[in-house]
Chain A
C-alpha cells in the first residue's frame, strides 16, 4: 500500500527526470526542488501560523497570563486557550502542515534510496517498481550516478592530490546549511523568555546540524545532496515569506539590547 501510493510514483518520477536530464545527481536536485514547490502551500501555511504564534508570545496579555498562572498549569492552559480563540489562532495550525508533509518526505527519502540501487537485490526490486507503460528498463538503466566529483550511490569524499584522506565536502555543507536554516527560522528570543522551551530550541539548533552532518557523512551522497538542496530551498521559501531572522546568523553584528 505504502509502496504503491508513495514510493512507486516517486521512483518513476525520479527515473523520468533522470531520463530527461541524463544525470541522476541533477535529477535528484530537480526532484527535490519540484517536491518542495508542490509542498509550498503547506510550508507557507506553517510559516504563517508560526509567525502568528510568535506574535502572540509578544502580546501583553499572553505575558501576563504566563506570569500570573506560573504555578497552575491547568489554569494556564485554560487561559491560553481563551486567548487563542480571542485572537483566532489555531495552535495546531503550525504542526498540521508538518504532519502532512512528514510521510511525503519519508517516502521521498525511501524512493531515493531504492532508486540508487547499489546492489543486486535493490536493482531487482527497482525493476519491479518501474511502471512498464510509462518507462522501460532499457530507457532508465543504468543510472548515470556520477555527479561533479561524487558517485551518488556512495558516501561522498573529495580526494585532493597530496592528501591521503578524502574531505567530506557535502557533509560540511550540510552542517553549515542546516545550522543556517534552523537559525534563520528561529525568532529572536523575547526579553525574559529564557524558559525551557527556548533552551530546548537552542539545543535543537545545535544538535540538528550535527545529526544531519553525520547522516551526510555516512550515507550515500545522493541523500547528502538532497539535504543540501532541501536546506537551500527552505531558506529561499522563508526569505520569500519575509520571515527570515538573519540577525541570528550575522554573529559579527552587535545584537540590540534584550536579544539573545
Chain B
C-alpha cells in the first residue's frame, strides 16, 4: 500500500508539472530581441540575456548567471553609454554594466510584463508595460512620472525629445509631454495596435492589427492619410527616400508613398512578416515565419533569399557589414550573416 501511495503521489506530481508546462504560464510566447554594437551582440532570448563577442560569436557574459522560467527576457536590450537596460516578463527593468553584465540598479514598480524595450531620450528611460503604464525613469532608475493608458502597452514609444508617442492596446495613439507625462492628445486607431510608431519629419507612421496603416501629424494628431494593406501590421516601417517599407501578417512586403499612402508595390513572400526590415545599401532585409531572409531592392525587386530552419519573427539587425537574425524553433537561434546573406557564425547548439 505504501508503494501505491508513493506511486500515486509521483503520478500527481508528474501531472502537475506536465499541466503547468503545457499551459506555458509565465513563459515565452514571444521572440527574441537583439542589439548589435561594434563590440557585442546582446541577445535577449528567454531566461537569460547573453552578450556575444561581435566578431566571433563567443559568449562574453550571461545575465542572470542561472536563468529561470519565472524571469524571461525577450525585448531588445538598450545601450546607454556603458549601461545596458534589459526588461523582462517578471515586472523588472534592470540596468547592467554592458561590458561585464553586472547589475547596477533595478526598477521593480511595474506590475505587468515588459513586452517591448524602452526608449531612451533626453536622459530619460521610457518603458511601456502591460500594466497599462508608461514609466519614465531617470538614468539611475528613479521614477520621474507615470502615465496610465486604457490598456496594455506593447510597443516602444517614439519621441522627438519634447513629445512621446505610443500606441496602446486600447486602440489609441497617445502623445505626452516628455518632461511631465501630461497628455497632449490622443487619437483613435480603430483596432488594437502593437507596432512601434515611426516619427519622421513631424509625421507619425504606424499600422494596426487589422491591416490599416496610418500617417498622423505629430503636432496635433490629425490623420494625414490611411491605407489598407493585406494583413495585420506588427512592426515599425522603414522610411527611405519618400517610401515606406514594412511587412504584414499576410506575408507581403508593402512599399507605400509616404506623402499620400498610395501603394507603390507589394512583394509576396510565403509567410507572415512581423519584424522590421533592416536597411542595407542595396535594399531592405526582411525575415519571415518560414525562416526566409529576403533582400528586397528599393524598387521592389528580390535580390536574394536565404532559408534557415525555424521561424523569423524578430527584426534582422544590421551594423556595418554584419547582419544578425534570430530564429524561433531553431537549433541556431542567433545567426550572424554578412550583407550577402552568408553565415559568419551562429549561437546555439554546437554539433
Interface flag for A33 (CB, 8 Å)? no
- Interface residue ranges of B22-43 to A (CB < 8 Å): 23-26, 28-31
A142 touches B19 (CB 8 A): no
A113 to B272: give the CA distance in the assembly, Å. Answer: 23
Interface flag for A83 (CB, 8 Å)? no
Which one of B2-10, B239-247, B256-264, B340-348 is at the interface? B2-10
Which one of B175-183, B188-196, B198-206 is at the interface? B188-196
Give the nearest-CB partner of A214 in chain B. B16
Interface flag for A71 (CB, 8 Å)? no
Interface of A is mostly: helix
Min CB gap B238→A, angstroms: 20
A203 touches B191 (CB 8 A): no
Q: A123-B194, A124-B274, A127-B209 are in contact. Are A219 and B20 (CB under 8 A)?
A: yes
| Interface size class of chain A, counting residues whose CB lies under 8 Å from the partner chain | 20 to 34
Contact of B209 among A141, A151, A154, A219 (CB under 8 A): A141
- Interface residue ranges of B260-284 to A (CB < 8 Å): 272, 274
A223 to B74: give the CA distance in the assembly, Å. Answer: 25
B12 touches A127 (CB 8 A): no
Contact of B31 among A117, A120, A210 (CB under 8 A): A120
A123 to B232: give the CA distance in the assembly, Å. Answer: 11
Interface flag for A196 (CB, 8 Å)? yes
| Interface size class of chain B, counting residues whose CB lies under 8 Å from the partner chain | 35 or more
A117 to B191: give the CA distance in the assembly, Å. Answer: 16
Q: A141-B169, A219-B23 are in contact. Are A124 and B12 (CB under 8 A)?
A: no
- Interface residue ranges of A84-143 to B (CB < 8 Å): 109, 113, 117-124, 127, 136-138, 141-142
B115 touches A120 (CB 8 A): yes
B8 touches A138 (CB 8 A): no
B249 touches A223 (CB 8 A): no
A120 touches B194 (CB 8 A): yes
Q: A123-B194, A124-B272, A124-B274 are in contact. Are A211 and B16 (CB under 8 A)?
A: yes
A124 to B28: give the CA distance in the assembly, Å. Answer: 13
> Contact mask B60-72 → A, CB, 8 Å, 1/0?
0000000000000
B115 touches A119 (CB 8 A): yes
A118 to B192: give the CA distance in the assembly, Å. Answer: 14
Interface flag for B84 (CB, 8 Å)? no
Interface flag for A220 (CB, 8 Å)? yes
A199 to B8: give the CA distance in the assembly, Å. Answer: 12
B12 touches A121 (CB 8 A): no
Min CB gap B26→A, angstroms: 7
B1 touches A199 (CB 8 A): yes
Contact of A219 among B15, B25, B234 (CB under 8 A): B25
Min CB gap B46→A, angstroms: 12
B23 touches A113 (CB 8 A): yes
Interface flag for A207 (CB, 8 Å)? yes
> Please, which residues of chain B bring their CB within 8 A of the CB of A17?
none
Interface flag for A53 (CB, 8 Å)? no
A138 touches B16 (CB 8 A): no
Give the nearest-CB partner of B5 in chain A. A203
Interface flag for A218 (CB, 8 Å)? yes
Contact of A223 among B23, B209, B272, B313 (CB under 8 A): B23
> Please, which residues of chain A bring their CB within 8 A of the CB of B31?
120-121
Interface flag for A25 (CB, 8 Å)? no
27 pairs, A vs B, C-beta closer than 8 Å: A117-B29, A118-B113, A118-B130, A119-B29, A119-B113, A120-B31, A120-B115, A121-B30, A124-B274, A127-B209, A127-B249, A136-B210, A137-B210, A138-B190, A141-B209, A142-B151, A142-B169, A142-B170, A142-B171, A142-B192, A154-B112, A199-B1, A200-B8, A203-B5, A215-B16, A219-B23, A220-B25
Interface residues of A (CB under 8 A from B): 109, 113, 117-124, 127, 136-138, 141-142, 151, 154-155, 196, 199-200, 203-204, 207-208, 210-211, 214-215, 218-220, 223
